[in-house]
């Protein structure tokens, strides 16, 4: 009698491994501390070439919180952000790039939520900056808790946010940063200069001060990359004012030299002192 044939085991197919990462996305996620990060997430051009050259990804991040630290709120933030926000509405629908970008709103539906601004929004002035009044939503919060809640809900709704939060704590900013990861619109927090001494989960922090003439002085306190040395001088003259000024007035005016101390320059001789008239 012949022996029974031995069954040949079927080949085992290994389970499919993880899909290979796209080289471009991998390069964007890995960065050295000595080099400027090239973010793969979408960004919004700031309107200032010198500033875009120092920002990771070449513009304001659309899926992160950006902190602007000012000596006094109400003016400098508008001059800095007006070119970017004006372009945010002027440009056509962005092409989809991932699940978040596929939900991007059309320019006609985009909104900018103003949370607790220090002054009532001046619609004609904002319209002159390129911001349509129909796209602005003003939230006058009565308490810091209400302001934080309004900002968080707006970020989750994927609308642009400009919030003045002088009393926000580090854990509260961390919560806003987590919400911004699922958004596709810029989020800016306006805070006082003293907040620069506190830790913050915001990946981008800038100090903004008035510069010479119509310029803005900007220093990057925190970014994804090496430390930023020095200050950037950004020309930030409002477009509505430029036609009213002469060419000489448009140029930056150097700061005046400090006046000498009269007490130190005074001569002791009585005849060298100015005569005081009654």
Alpha-carbon torsion angle 114, 208, 64, 31, nearest 10: 170
Q: Which residue has the higher pLDDT, 267 or 77?
A: 77
Q: What is the spatial distance between Cα 270 and Cα 272, in angstroms, rounded to a whole number?
A: 5
pTM of this prediction? 0.71
Domains delineated in the chain: 39-96+103-239 (3.40.50.300)
Alpha-carbon torsion angle 69, 74, 77, 82, nearest 10: 170
Alpha-carbon torsion angle 143, 149, 152, 158, nearest 10: -100
Q: What is the mean pLDDT of residues 226-234?
A: 92
Mean pLDDT of all residues belonging to the chain: 77
Q: Which residue has the higher pLDDT, 217 or 42?
A: 217
Q: What is the spatial distance between Cα 55 and Cα 162, in angstroms, rounded to a whole number?
A: 19
CA-closest candidate to residue 100, choices 61, 148, 67: 61
Q: Between 170-180 and 144-156, two packed helices, what is the crossing angle to 10 degrees?
A: 20
pLDDT in the model for residue 7:
57
Q: What is the spatial distance between Cα 65 and Cα 203, in angstroms, rounded to a whole number?
A: 7
pLDDT in the model for residue 234:
95
Predicted confidence (pLDDT) per residue in 33-62, tens digit:
555 555 557 899 999 999 999 999 999 999
pLDDT-derived band at 93, boundaries 50, 70, 90: very low
Distances (CA, A) of 189 to 13, 30, 123: 53, 27, 21
Q: What is the spatial distance between Cα 39 and Cα 52, in angstroms, rounded to a whole number?
A: 13
């Amino acid at each position: 009698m012949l022996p029974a044939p031995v069954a040949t085991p079927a080949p085992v197919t290994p389970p499919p491994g993880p899909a290979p990462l796209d080289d471009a996305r991998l390069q964007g996620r890995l960065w050295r501390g000595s080099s400027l990060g090239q973010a793969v997430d979408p960004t919004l051009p700031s309107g200032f070439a010198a500033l875009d050259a120092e920002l990771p990804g070449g513009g304001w991040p659309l899926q992160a919180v950006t902190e602007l630290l000012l000596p006094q709120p109400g003016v400098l933030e508008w001059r800095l952000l007006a070119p970017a926000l004006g372009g945010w509405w002027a440009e056509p629908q962005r092409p989809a790039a991932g699940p978040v970008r596929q939900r991007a709103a059309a320019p006609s539906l985009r909104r900018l939520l103003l949370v607790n601004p220090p002054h009532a929004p001046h619609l004609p002035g904002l319209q002159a900056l390129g911001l349509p009044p129909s796209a602005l939503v003003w939230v006058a919060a009565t308490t810091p808790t209400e302001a934080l809640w309004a900002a968080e809900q707006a970020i989750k709704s994927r609308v642009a946010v400009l919030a003045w939060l002088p009393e926000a704590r580090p854990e509260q900013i961390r919560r806003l940063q987590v919400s911004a990861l699922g958004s596709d619109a810029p989020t800016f927090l306006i805070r006082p200069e003293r907040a620069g001494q506190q830790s913050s989960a915001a990946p981008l922090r800038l100090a903004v001060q008035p510069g010479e003439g119509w310029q803005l002085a900007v220093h990057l306190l925190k970014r994804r990359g090496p430390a930023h040395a020095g200050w950037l001088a950004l020309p930030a003259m409002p477009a509505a004012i430029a036609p009213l000024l002469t060419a000489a007035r448009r140029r930056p005016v150097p700061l005046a030299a400090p006046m000498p101390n009269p007490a130190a320059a005074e001569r002791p001789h009585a005849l060298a002192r100015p005569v005081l008239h009654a």
